[in-house]
A and B are shown apart, each in its own frame.
Chain A
Amino acid sequence: MKKEQEIYYTKDVPVPETPEPGTEPEPWGKTRIIGERVPRVDGYERVSGSAVYPSDVMLPGMIHGAILRSPYPHAVVKSVNIEKARNMPGVRAAISMDSPGADLQWPYNKEVSTKLFDPRCLFEGETIAAVAAETPYQAMDAIKAIKVEYDVKPFVVDERKALKSGSVEVHEGGNRLKTATHERGDVEKGFAEADEVVEKTFRTECEIQTPLELHGCVANWDGDRLTVWESTQGVYSVQSKVAQVLKMPLSKVRIIGHYMGGGFGSKLNASKYTIIGALLAKASAKPVKMFLTREDAYIAVGNRPPSNMTVKMGVKKDGTLTAIQLKGNATGGAYPAGGTALIDWLFRDLYTCENVRTEMTDVYINAGPARPFRAPGHPQGSWALEQMMDMLAQKINIDPVQIRLKNIPKVSQAREGNPPYTSTGLEECLRKGAETFGWDRARKEAEANNKKDGHIKRGVGMGGCVWIVGGGGPPSTVVVKYFSDGSVNLNMGASDIGTGTKTVMALVVAEELGVKPSVIQIENADTGTTQYATPSGGSKTVPTEAPTVRNACIDAKQQILKMAAEDLGLDVEDRDAEDLRFEGEKVVSKSDPSKSVKIKEIKKLNKRGLVMGIGYRGPNPENKTVNPFAAQFCEVEVNTRTGEVKVLRFLGAHDSGRVMDRLTYDNQVFGGITMGIGFGMTEWRVLDDGQTGKMLNKNWHDYKLPTALDVPMDMTCVPIELHDHEANNTGAKGLGEPVTIPTAGAIANAVNHATGLRFTDTPINPIFVSRMQDKTRAAEKAGKEALSKEARNKEEG
């Protein structure tokens, strides 16, 4: 008996009081398991190789799909001949726009849709035809045998050129999709009141998600029922889109995504390949594995839009911001895809300023449509805003941390009615982060080093941020099955996209029910067997699902206490169950501790086999907003001979509410910084603007992700844990997006500190650093004339 107790109950863990039905639970006091460094509950599967990702699924008789895509950025398909491909060895199905059942509409949004195989190809990588064959090799052979006649059209792949008159039109009526403006106060008045005004133009290059697991699915029909194993962040969103496109009842479409190898926003929903996989499976009457090639994943399934931002800001001598003005453009590619979405948010919300005006124009070009990418819009805006803050600080000669501290907002300025935040840790992120980093000393040491001769310069920089969401919210439903032996099964629809969702939810169950995480079995991400959840993304999964899981646990506890009350001869109707509490393996009476029953021996629980607790996500607080905040600090070394920038160390101070698992929390912070280093220093989509319009670096050799050698191993995570009882009943806010928002801007500021050079365009790689240094040296030699000519050239080009 003692041994069993050890298996199911955590020793010396008092189970939190069970609230009355219909009332909100008290916030956790001191937690026992939440916040500890707990290895992942599904770690075994992931490190042993036994986890079956969608790309690992193998079904009896399964064959392999492949898609033919447009090699041109702009063309009209005149004809497609799939007959030769259809008759090749091993080929079981070949489909194109003329095939029966393939004439389907693909919606980009409510207004804009195309055909699944649309003859108008507006970007390199648009789908033309598809085949399925017994081996992937045979499928690729067949793809090459498809004959397509194209009417090749002129293209435009640079959004700056697309806005000029006489440009090629991606869609009839011009390339200007929409212009979004926001205004408060009077920026002209603000500039007039300023002691210093700075204006600068910035550009961020297009970044591609490139998760390690390729985009794709396995599709299988059983008569009129379709099952899809999809590498996705949200099984229910995929189900909804597949059912919509194929005109099927939701109940007949089952999506399974137990594991997935990364998405970063690019796998929030179904894609054309999902539908194509289903059509090939139908046509061949076999299960079809339909995964993209890496090259296709670069051009067809999303990106972070490139942006151009001209920013003008005014500041008083004491550091008070008087005006912020942003004007610019960005492109989501050939279809409406949120090219400018949220780029302006930090300008409007992060720092206190009465006078703000933003205007961003979304532009069409002949390139693959964007998709959400970790904190959409924010890293782009942060790149410009954080550098502007440093430039203003230099003008008025105050410290970069101080100018930010001077402008901490008390309310969300960008939202209607200026609601307060449930908690805001921005000030503490800045103060505690700077202190832990050793900011003042590091700045001074770098400056002392840079006064010396020598080609290695040092710099220290920082940046702050807020993330627009990150509070989560309804809907969500979770079921907790409490078995008669005290072990627990957790059933939720949410995907674990690598952020540790399953682990965090197991910890919530462990905390609330007092059971060991190791005896909690989790079923998730299956529309056939698990509960409804929105896709995992936007740093909203933990603040959405964790309170829901807690509610489900409380529901189960209430039922168990009621059953125990019956066994103890208490009057259930007279709310005597409230006198009971969980204590280890027993339920005991608070008023009379001699009254107790072992959970395993509760009669009704044994008879029924289990208690099913159901949890729903309650509403967010009214008239308040829930947001995570952060500040990041870094130190870099710049080799002024080679242009190499080495990031020596990084610190992330993050206010994301309660830390749920310190191990996965640290990992998330370091991972976000790593991705930010990629955005700021190594990654950039190169489109062949001059000749073909094609992407020139659609592989990991030429499009460079940070490797182990490109990021510092010296990374520090400083959680700023404010007790936010209003956010939700677990006090957790989102973490996944803020961790990557201020990173690139902080690096640019550090490089400026080291060299005096201002890098307004990403990426800060050796080519651009050397080029900038050459220009600066040439300008020093040739005097100021050369510099002004350069500026003119840049404006024109």
Chain B
Amino acid sequence: MKSKDPAKHTHARGSCECRKGITRRGFMTRLGVGAAGVAASGALFPQTAAAKEMEMIKAGDMAKITLRVNGREHTLLAEPRWTLLYVIREKLGLTGSKIGCERGECGACTVLIDNIPRYACMTLAVEARGAEITTVEGLMEGEDLGPVQQAFLEEDAFQCGYCTPGQVVAAEGHLRADPDPTDDEVLRGMSGNLCRCGAYPHIFKAVRSAAEKRRRGKGGEG
């Protein structure tokens, strides 16, 4: 296993840029919930400016919201209960993000919110206002695949492909936070995304290869 110089990146609480907001563990503790099942990819909710100032909306009323998805602003009417996943799939037509469980267990719906991988099924659309949302479609470079996508293709890191967009986005998020992860960090980072076909060994290779590709300076932001 490849180990890493701890001085290079400590993930120290409060100083680390790759973990914003409330951690899943902290969130669970606050709710008094015990064991977490499938590990979540990073924090659960973003503490965006808009979320802090959220006004009350009556159930059943539509709220006018603006979402920034893949660098483009979309203004639409949404029920407060609509998930971000529902809105990006059914209202914006971005069906790359998939529905697996709608309860934060499988990661097929993983998107980046301000660069952090999150389950779009567990995020309300109204909560995501003001944030920079990136879906798998947003990782494309025009018609060309981004480096993580290219690595998944080359390493055959999927079978049926249904969990794949979520896996790709999760990998992208982890590599944005830490461009040079250890093997153990890759496994832990990807453990919030289920693959029933069991392509994990190839996914692992793809993430390693994607880290290489990104470090060589092709695509993505740091």
Question: B-contacting residues of A (Cβ < 8 Å)?
Answer: 39-40, 43-53, 55-56, 58, 89, 135-137, 209-214, 259-262, 264, 291, 293-294, 497-500, 663-664, 666-668, 670-675, 699-702, 704-709, 711, 713, 715
Are A137 and B79 in contact (CB-based, < 8 A)?
yes
Q: Which of B28-45 contact A (CB under 8 A)?
A: 37-39
Question: Pick the contact of B37 from A43, A58, A702 — CB < 8 Å?
Answer: A702
Contact A700 B153 (CB under 8 A): no
Closest to A496 in B: B160
0 or 1 for each of B158-190: is its CB under 8 Å from A? (1 = yes): 111111110010000000000000010001101
Report yes or no: B204 in contact with A713, Cβ–Cβ below 8 A. yes
For window 115-164 of B, CB contacts with A under 8 Å fall at: 135-137, 140, 145, 149-150, 152-154, 156, 158-164
Contact across chains for A708 and B196 when beta carbons are under 8 A apart: no
Is B190's CB under 8 angstroms from A708's CB?
yes
Known: A58-B90, A212-B194. A667 touches B156 (CB 8 A): yes
- What chain B residues lie within 8 Å of A708 (beta carbons)? 187, 190-191, 193, 200, 203-204
Q: Which chain B residues lie closer than 8 Å to A47 at the CB level? A: 145, 149-150, 152-153, 158, 161, 164-165, 168
Q: Which of B89-110 contact A (CB under 8 A)?
A: 89-90, 93-103, 105-106, 108
User: Is B162 touching A210 in the complex (CB atoms < 8 A)?
Assistant: no
Question: Bound state CA distance, A4 and B179, in angstroms?
Answer: 40
Contact A48 B194, beta carbon cutoff 8 Å: no
Say yes or no: A498 contacts B160, CB within 8 Å: yes
Say how far A431's CB is from chain B's closest CB, in angstroms.
24
From B90, B156, B200, contact of A40 by CB (8 A): B156
- Mark each residue of chain B from 195 to 207: 1 if its CB lies under 8 Å from any CB of chain A, else 0: 1111111111000
Q: What are the residues of chain A within 8 A of B193 when measuring CB–CB?
A: 708
Known: A259-B161, A667-B159. 4 other contacts (CB 8 A): A260-B160, A664-B156, A670-B200, A704-B37
**A-chain residues with CB within 8 Å of residue B99 when the two chains form the complex:** 55, 214, 291
Decide if B160 touches A44 in the complex (CB within 8 Å): no
Partner of A671 from the list B79, B97, B187, B197 (CB cut-off 8 Å) is B197
Most-contacted residue by chain B among A291, A666, A709 (CB, 10 A): A709
Q: Does B4 contact A (CB under 8 A)?
A: no
Identify B201's interface contact among A48, A294, A711, CB under 8 A.
Answer: A711
A739 to chain B: closest CB distance in Å?
A: 9
A-B contact pairs, 12 of them (CB 8 A): A43-B153, A44-B153, A47-B153, A55-B98, A89-B60, A212-B163, A214-B100, A663-B156, A700-B105, A708-B190, A708-B191, A713-B187
User: Which residues on A sit within 8 Å (CB–CB) of B200?
Assistant: 670, 674, 706-708, 711, 713
CB-based A-B contact count at 8 angstroms:
182
Q: How far is B60's CA from A89's CA once the two chains are assembled, in angstroms?
A: 10
CA distance in complex: A699, B102 (Å): 10
Partner of B95, one of A40, A56, A709: A56
Contact of A39 among B82, B153, B159, B168 (CB under 8 A): B153
Q: Which residues does chain B contribute within 8 Å of A700, judged by CB atoms?
A: 37-38, 101, 105-106, 194
| Residue B64 is within 8 A (CB to CB) of chain A in the complex | no
* Residues of chain A within 8 A of B135, CB atoms compared: 49
Interface of B toward A, CB cutoff 8 Å: 37-39, 60, 79, 81-82, 86, 89-90, 93-103, 105-106, 108, 135-137, 140, 145, 149-150, 152-154, 156, 158-165, 168, 183, 187-188, 190-204
CB pair B161 A46 closer than 8 Å = yes
Q: Tell me if A261 and B160 are in contact (CB < 8 A).
A: yes
Give the residues in chain A near B153, CB-CB below 8 Å.
39-40, 43-44, 47
Selected from A261, A264, A293, A715, the residue in CB contact (under 8 A) with B162 is A261
Contact of B198 among A209, A663, A664, A673 (CB under 8 A): A673
The CA-CA distance from A53 to B99 in the complex, in Å, is: 11
Task: Name which residue of chain B comes closest to A261, CB basis.
Answer: B162
List, in ascending order, chain A residues with CB within 8 A of B98's CB. 53, 55-56, 212-213, 261
Q: How far is the CA of A89 from the CA of B82 in the complex (A)?
A: 16
Question: Given the complex, which residues of A lie within 8 Å of B163, measured CB to CB?
Answer: 212, 261
Q: With A40-B156, A136-B86, A261-B160 as known contacts, state yes or no: A701 contacts B197, CB within 8 Å.
A: no
Q: Contact: B198 with A211, CB < 8 Å?
A: no
- Which residue of B has the minimal Cβ distance to A264? B196
**Chain B residues whose C-beta falls within 8 Å of the C-beta of A53 in the assembled complex:** 95, 98, 162
A residues within 8 A CB of B137? 48-50
Knowing A670-B202, A699-B101, say if A705 contacts B197 (CB, 8 Å): no
Which residue of chain B has the shortest Cβ distance to A46 in the bound complex?
A: B161
Give, as a whole number of angstroms, the nearest-CB distance from A133 to chain B: 13
- Given contacts A137-B81, A212-B100, A499-B159, whether A667 and B154 have CB atoms under 8 Å apart is no
* Chain A residue at minimal CB-CB distance from B161: A46
Taking a contact as CB atoms under 8 Å apart, the answer to whether A213 and B149 are in contact is: no
* Cα of A124 to Cα of B219 in the assembled complex, Å: 50
Bound Cα distance A55, B142 (Å): 25
Whether B199 contacts A701 by the Cβ 8 Å rule is no
Task: Provide the residues of chain B in CB contact with A211, threshold 8 Å.
Answer: 160, 162, 196
B204: chain A residues within 8 A (beta carbon): 708, 713
- Measured between beta carbons, the chain A residues less than 8 angstroms from B94 are 49
| B105 A261 Cβ-Cβ under 8 A | no
> Given that A49-B165, A55-B99 are known contacts, is A706 also in contact with B198, CB under 8 Å in the complex?
yes
CB distance from B186 to the nearest CB of A (A): 8
- B136 contact set on A, CB distance < 8 A: 48-49
> How far is it, in angstroms, between the C-alpha of A664 and the C-alpha of B153 when the chains are bound?
11
Cβ-closest chain B residue relative to A673: B198
In the complex with contacts A47-B153, A672-B198, A709-B191, A293-B102 CB distance below 8 A: yes
